[in-house]
A and B are shown apart, each in its own frame.
Chain A
Amino acid sequence: MIFNYKIADIVFSADIIYKSTYERMKDYLAPEGEKPEFGFKITDADIAEERRLSPYDFPDNVYEHTAVYRKYIYEIMEKYDAFFFHCSAIAVDGEAIMFTARSGTGKSTHRNLWMKNFGDRVTVINDDKPVIRRIDGKFYVYGTPWQGKEGLGCNIRVPAKALCFLSRAEENSIGPIDTISVVAKLMNQTVRPSDPWLMSNLLDLLDGFVRQVDCYDLRVNMNDDAAIVAYNGIKGK
């Protein structure tokens, strides 16, 4: 069945097979009357391709959800000033803070510490695959229906404030990180277009992103004050 979705303020149509995909994405159905800017259909071949790329063996309906993601992200990277990288993104007092790390580092654990310390001031935007867009020169972090293992996130848009590269350490500390490392790490976590123009656009976008968003090397243990140290480093700036 065909549904219209609106994700990161971009309306598109998706012809999907499984009810579970509809359920996972229902918070992102487009309002009545808004016209899709592009559309695609999920086929058995798309699902087979997701299965091939996956290290797991999930039922087909799970792979449909990731197939929609892949088609959507390729379209928006091509047509809009948009990109993604794996991270946990939270809104704190209306500003987005993103945490990225190698899997297994403890992104979710650290995100939990923020929720515990700051309570209602923190909203999870997306815990796995938010979309980053530049609109009128400003970068925003958007919630998406691809929310990771714990299914945390919501359909909101928040101005981007900071990006933290998270690693584990005995003592908590936060410090600057050089631009070239940020770009290299982000490039390693996103879809790299092979088309030279699209690649050039992506590099332009990253250049703008690193100029506007404060980037940090954040080293944390799993104690409560890890979030306080990080908060003071980011907000005290």
Chain B
Amino acid sequence: MKRKEGFLLRQFGDDYIVVAVGDDAENFNKLITLNGVGAFIYNFIVEEKSRDEVVAALTEHYEVERSLAESDVAAFEARLSAAGLIDD
């Protein structure tokens, strides 16, 4: 997973918002809101970690089953991809 350049992640209370900046801003009408888990995953994507690394971190940090973490990450990736936040 590779995050596209030009997005800002910002915390508001318990939640987060991701907005486009730079050249992407013109084409990026939506903004994405994330909860804590979403932001946790997103930060790993920012660091260009592999899907396995994200799943491992999630399993450890949130003490969830690997299968659940895998399906969560896959669903989250699909959402980010649909929103144009990441390149596959």
Q: Tell me if A195 and B19 are in contact (CB < 8 A).
A: no
Q: B25–A179 contact, CB under 8 A?
A: no
List residues of chain B with CB within 8 A of the CB of A103.
none
Interface size class of A (residues with CB under 8 A): 10 to 19
Contact between B17 and A183 (Cβ–Cβ < 8 Å)? yes
Q: Is B15 an interface residue (CB 8 A)?
A: yes
Whether B8 pairs with A199 at a CB distance below 8 angstroms is yes
Given contacts A196-B8, A199-B8, A203-B8, contact A180 B13 (CB under 8 A): yes
**Are B23 and A180 within 8 A (Cβ)?**
no
B side interface size, CB within 8 A:
17
6 A-B pairs (CB sep. < 8 Å): A183-B12, A183-B17, A187-B31, A192-B19, A193-B21, A210-B12
Whole-angstrom distance between the alpha carbons of A100 and B22 in the complex? 28
Q: Please, which residue of chain B has its CB at the minimum distance from the CB of A194?
A: B25
Chain A: minimal CB distance from B4 (Å): 14
A1 interface residue (CB < 8 Å to B): no
Q: Are B12 and A196 in contact, with the CB atoms below 8 A?
A: no
Q: In this complex, what residue of A is CB-closest to B25? A: A194
Residues in A whose Cβ lies below 8 Å from that of B12: 179-180, 183, 206-207, 210
Known: A184-B33, A200-B10. 4 other contacts (CB 8 A): A180-B16, A184-B17, A199-B25, A203-B10
Out of B13, B19, B33, which one reaches A203, CB within 8 Å? B19
Is A187 in contact with B17, judged by CB distance below 8 angstroms? yes
Are A192 and B25 in contact, with the CB atoms below 8 A? Answer: yes
Given contacts A192-B25, A203-B8, contact A179 B19 (CB under 8 A): no
